[in-house]
Chain A
Amino acid sequence: MPAGLLQHVKNAWENYQANQKNWAEWDYLVLDIETSGLNPKQDSIVSLGWVCIQDGLIELGSARHIVLENAPIDEQVGIHMITEADVQSQGKRQESVLRYLRQLLRNRVLVMHHAPMELGFLKKIWQQESFSNFSLSWLDTLAIERTKANRSQQPIQEGGFRLDNCRERYGLPAYAGHDALTDALATAELLLAQVAYQGPDCRLHDLNQLGGGRTRLSSNQ
């Protein structure tokens, strides 16, 4: 299929060119997902928090903190500070939340701290809701931090890649809370700091090289 191939090359070329633009010319959505456990196969999502970056600035007006309806609460209350009552009163349908998120991600790069986890859960609910295929670019602040550490041959201690510890290295304040939105904001600030340390000409391409990629979410595995 030459036409398909051509399209593919064209896409790749555009993609490449776009990547050469300064990072700030892109919009980002920084996401954190609170779950009932660490295994996407067994556990489920309790809440999502996100905040967007536009023109290189974190826009607090874009911040969202959403609890899913039917979210399993149990013993996790202690961690998330989300109660059964919150789920009852504010719980949102997973499908509509996902629809909203997909809308936002159409022209934004997804940013997470430790992407494999969050992507795992995203893939799972994508299947649950039978959404159509969707490609997205993502950045992982943890991967960026790890690559930087490797490149500078600065060994980082066990646990040194936890969000709080990464932030501390850039002089970012310690946050007491660890709900989804606070962590999303914390991750967004970390990204800004990482970018600032790359210098004023940092491109999305550079960030991708440090810790980013593309992933396809699909309805069937």
Chain B
Amino acid sequence: MTAIDIPEVQKFVSSIPPFAHLNAFEMSQLLLGVSMLYVRQGQTLQLSDKAATVHLIRRGACEIRTAKGGLVDQIADGECFGMSTLLEQNPQGLQVIALEDSLVYRFDKARFEERLDKNEAFGLFFEHTLHNRLRKVSRTQSHELASPALQLSTPITHIMTQNLVLASPNETVQAIALRMTEARVSSILVVEEKRLQGIVTDRDLRSRILAVGGSADSLVRDVMTENPVVLLNDALVMQAQTLMSESNIHHLPIVDDDHRAVGMLTAADLLRHQELSPLLLIKQINRQQSLEGVAVVCKQWPTLMINLVITDMKSVDVGKVLATLSDNLTRRLIELALEKLGPAPMDFQFLVFGSQAREDQSLGSDQDNALMLEREPTVEESQYFANLSDYVCQGLAACGIRLCPGNIMASNPEWRKTKAQWQNTFSSWIRNSTPADLLHASIFFDIRCIYGQEDDLMDVIRNMLSEVSKNSVFLATMTRGAIASKPPLGFFRHFLLESSGEHKHQLDLKHQGLALINDLARLYGLSCQTYRISTLDRLEQALKEKKVSKDTARNLMDAWEQLNELRLGTQCSHWQSLGDVSSYLDPKDLSPLERKQLKTTFSMIADAQEMAQQNFLRGFS
């Protein structure tokens, strides 16, 4: 047998990052098992049987959609799909649809698995997909993310297609179908004396000709959509986006004042340009001069988060990015409030609590904030801060960060205190709390200053930690609270028994999982000399100060990362398919492997609760 050497294939495959790790022998072993296929635009690829394996796009573009049709990713030359099919039997039921005619390499399942097994670097690269829904493998993709993103304020003339494919109303359908095929476009504009009369899309040809057995000689005028939705050429991307989603169209002709067709904007054009970067969003927020402007910019927030998740940003970093955004948003709102209300009568700090302080925010987190004032305010000054707080809290709500149901907000006069009052409040929680008090107060122990002098808050925190160390009964009380709710271990047994699917057993990843770890980490964190805010940092610190065993700390960190990743993934898929951000997970959506991992994770939390009980409750119970 001659060893094959197909330079064109080899050259291409070895230019793709994960494959570059393979040596010549491994490469030829892999290539011997490659099958090539050509997929027409619009065709759905069945990833079953032999095709349930990794594919590499040689030329073309595909999109990956969830079973419900939500867009997960768009990939092109040099990118892979089918990893989740190979590694986890495609629990999400992802579909791959060709956006363009595509030439695709399909790797032989057994050979690919062998390489995953035997080449560590190669395996590691793809192993990542066990944690993430999908993996973008191409370098170009990360380049795209780094490149300047589409701004909502970009004029549409910058991104619309100006090379128009035109038809006249009196042509036959066959003639325009040919032209469309040749030009590789999915729609054609119908003009008469340059003025736009209508539009014909691929879909129209399908539904109005093919599906009803119409003739190829039908005239365009009888098939076209007359007076389609259009946009004037001085509009902005923002307007195009809104119009297209409101009208539920994917092709938007652009016309000038005389109704002459000057451009075409497709949903794909918008998507291609919509690589949002966090930095850009922050810049946009900071540029806005009104609350309304800020709120519009913040509408991109979920898209950004989805982009971050599908480009495999680590969940802990996603949390940080979202916290940074919230911080900037809050600061911008404070600045706008100061512009509106005039300068503040005294120094103040804007404090945040809970998830924003811990930097593990996700979509749907509510706001928890407060003010710390330099001194006792007069009546007028008090009114000033009431107005300022109202503006900021309502502003945050308008930008998608929900008002706090427990009313832990600066807009609540109870949470506008002087430094001394804050110190007293913490002291009183630490000295004489019942578990019930602490249940509501515990998030105050996750605290960060995002506006104003940080030093004052540091004093409060130092004071707080010293009080905690003197009152061991406080940590015991807090422990009782932290271990009161248990991870849903019985849940799985129940789930496994339940096969009829009549009862929807869903898992609340936030309250039944992450919150339990946050509680434990807070407990350990507060027993330390040095104050840390984020859950992972707290566990790290406790480990450093030997307040927690290495096993417990590491297990909790792993558990936290796993649950957080799962929550972000769940939120993304919910957002894409349903438009809400629930972090409820249907275990049916998990592969057996994932279920097993999740069960392990929950038992680690249960073990850690046990440990905490021994550490902090010994002698108290």
Q: Is B31 an interface residue (CB 8 A)?
A: yes
Shortest Cβ distance from residue A213 to the other chain B in the assembled complex, whole angstroms: 24
B36–A176 CB distance below 8 A? no
A56 touches which of B5, B37, B40, B59 (Cβ 8 Å):
B37
B37–A173 CB distance below 8 A? no
Chain B positions within 8 Å of A181 at CB level: 4-6
Q: Is B9 an interface residue (CB 8 A)?
A: yes
Whole-angstrom CA separation of A180 from B103 in the bound complex: 20
Chain A positions within 8 Å of B33 at CB level: 60-61
B101–A189 CB distance below 8 A? no
Q: Is B184 an interface residue (CB 8 A)?
A: yes
Given A170-B38, A176-B8, A192-B38, 18 other A-B contacts at CB below 8 A? A60-B35, A61-B4, A61-B32, A65-B6, A154-B178, A154-B182, A171-B59, A173-B12, A173-B58, A173-B59, A181-B6, A182-B8, A185-B6, A189-B36, A192-B103, A195-B38, A196-B38, A196-B39
* Contact residues of A between 160 and 203, Cβ < 8 Å to B: 170-173, 175-177, 179, 181-182, 185, 188-189, 192-193, 195-197
Q: Is A57 an interface residue (CB 8 A)?
A: yes
Chain B positions within 8 Å of A58 at CB level: 35-37
Name the residue on B nearest A51 (C-beta). B6
* Contact residues of B between 7 and 54, Cβ < 8 Å to A: 7-9, 12, 31-40
B31 touches which of A60, A176, A196 (Cβ 8 Å):
A60
A197–B59 CB distance below 8 A? no
Shortest Cβ distance from residue A68 to the other chain B in the assembled complex, whole angstroms: 13
Chain B positions within 8 Å of A57 at CB level: 35-37, 106
Q: Known: A66-B2, A175-B8. Is A193-B101 also a contact (CB below 8 A)?
A: yes
Whole-angstrom CA separation of A193 from B38 in the bound complex: 6
Whole-angstrom CA separation of A175 from B40 in the bound complex: 21
Across the A-B interface, give the 5 residue pairs with the lowest CB-CB distance, nearest first: A192-B38, A57-B35, A58-B36, A60-B34, A61-B32
Q: Is B335 an interface residue (CB 8 A)?
A: no
The secondary-structure label for the interface of chain A is: mixed
Q: Known: A171-B59, A182-B7, A197-B40. Is A64-B34 also a contact (CB below 8 A)?
A: no
Chain A positions within 8 Å of B103 at CB level: 171-173, 189, 192-193
Chain A positions within 8 Å of B184 at CB level: 171
Chain B positions within 8 Å of A104 at CB level: none
Shortest Cβ distance from residue A183 to the other chain B in the assembled complex, whole angstroms: 10
B4–A63 CB distance below 8 A? yes
Produce 1/0 per residue, A145-165, CB < 8 A to B. Answer: 000000010100000000000
Shortest Cβ distance from residue B45 to the other chain A in the assembled complex, whole angstroms: 12
Q: Which residues of A contact B (CB under 8 A)?
A: 56-61, 63-66, 152, 154, 170-173, 175-177, 179, 181-182, 185, 188-189, 192-193, 195-197
Chain A positions within 8 Å of B39 at CB level: 196
* Contact residues of B between 161 and 192, Cβ < 8 Å to A: 178, 182, 184
Q: Known: A171-B100, A196-B40. Is A60-B32 also a contact (CB below 8 A)?
A: yes
B59–A172 CB distance below 8 A? yes
Q: Is B82 an interface residue (CB 8 A)?
A: no
A and B contact pairs by CB, cutoff 8 A, 20 listed: A57-B35, A57-B37, A59-B34, A60-B4, A60-B31, A60-B33, A60-B36, A64-B2, A152-B178, A171-B60, A173-B12, A176-B8, A177-B7, A181-B5, A185-B6, A185-B8, A188-B36, A192-B36, A196-B101, A197-B40
Q: Which residues of B contact A (CB under 8 A)?
A: 2, 4-9, 12, 31-40, 58-60, 100-101, 103, 106, 178, 182, 184
Q: Tell me which of A181, A193, A195, A196 has the highest count of chain B C-beta atoms within 10 A of its own C-beta.
A: A196
Chain A positions within 8 Å of B5 at CB level: 65, 181
Chain B positions within 8 Å of A173 at CB level: 8, 12, 58-59, 103
Chain A positions within 8 Å of B182 at CB level: 154
Shortest Cβ distance from residue A82 to the other chain B in the assembled complex, whole angstroms: 13
B35–A63 CB distance below 8 A? no
Shortest Cβ distance from residue B133 to the other chain A in the assembled complex, whole angstroms: 27
Shortest Cβ distance from residue A105 to the other chain B in the assembled complex, whole angstroms: 18
Chain B positions within 8 Å of A63 at CB level: 4, 6
Chain B positions within 8 Å of A182 at CB level: 6-8
A177–B8 CB distance below 8 A? yes
The secondary-structure label for the interface of chain B is: mixed
Chain B positions within 8 Å of A154 at CB level: 178, 182
Shortest Cβ distance from residue B22 to the other chain A in the assembled complex, whole angstroms: 15
Whole-angstrom CA separation of A61 from B12 in the bound complex: 17
Chain B positions within 8 Å of A197 at CB level: 40
Whole-angstrom CA separation of A10 from B50 in the bound complex: 36
Name the residue on B nearest A181 (C-beta). B6
Chain A positions within 8 Å of B2 at CB level: 64-66
Chain B positions within 8 Å of A65 at CB level: 2, 4-6
Chain B positions within 8 Å of A152 at CB level: 178
Name the residue on A nearest B2 (C-beta). A64
Q: Known: A171-B60, A173-B58, A197-B40. Is A59-B35 also a contact (CB below 8 A)?
A: yes
Whole-angstrom CA separation of A32 from B276 in the bound complex: 48
Shortest Cβ distance from residue B566 to the other chain A in the assembled complex, whole angstroms: 36
A185–B9 CB distance below 8 A? yes
Whole-angstrom CA separation of A79 from B338 in the bound complex: 76
Chain A positions within 8 Å of B34 at CB level: 59-61
Name the residue on B nearest A194 (C-beta). B38
Shortest Cβ distance from residue A84 to the other chain B in the assembled complex, whole angstroms: 19
Whole-angstrom CA separation of A120 from B32 in the bound complex: 31
Chain B positions within 8 Å of A179 at CB level: 7
Shortest Cβ distance from residue A67 to the other chain B in the assembled complex, whole angstroms: 10
Shortest Cβ distance from residue A47 to the other chain B in the assembled complex, whole angstroms: 12
Whole-angstrom CA separation of A59 from B34 in the bound complex: 6
Whole-angstrom CA separation of A177 from B6 in the bound complex: 10
Shortest Cβ distance from residue B42 to the other chain A in the assembled complex, whole angstroms: 11
Shortest Cβ distance from residue A72 to the other chain B in the assembled complex, whole angstroms: 21
Chain A positions within 8 Å of B12 at CB level: 173
Name the residue on A nearest B35 (C-beta). A57
Chain B positions within 8 Å of A195 at CB level: 38
Shortest Cβ distance from residue A79 to the other chain B in the assembled complex, whole angstroms: 15
A170–B101 CB distance below 8 A? yes
Chain A positions within 8 Å of B40 at CB level: 196-197
A64–B37 CB distance below 8 A? no
Whole-angstrom CA separation of A106 from B59 in the bound complex: 33
Chain B positions within 8 Å of A60 at CB level: 4, 6, 9, 31-36
Chain A positions within 8 Å of B32 at CB level: 60-61
Whole-angstrom CA separation of A193 from B39 in the bound complex: 8
Shortest Cβ distance from residue B521 to the other chain A in the assembled complex, whole angstroms: 52
Chain B positions within 8 Å of A61 at CB level: 4, 32-34
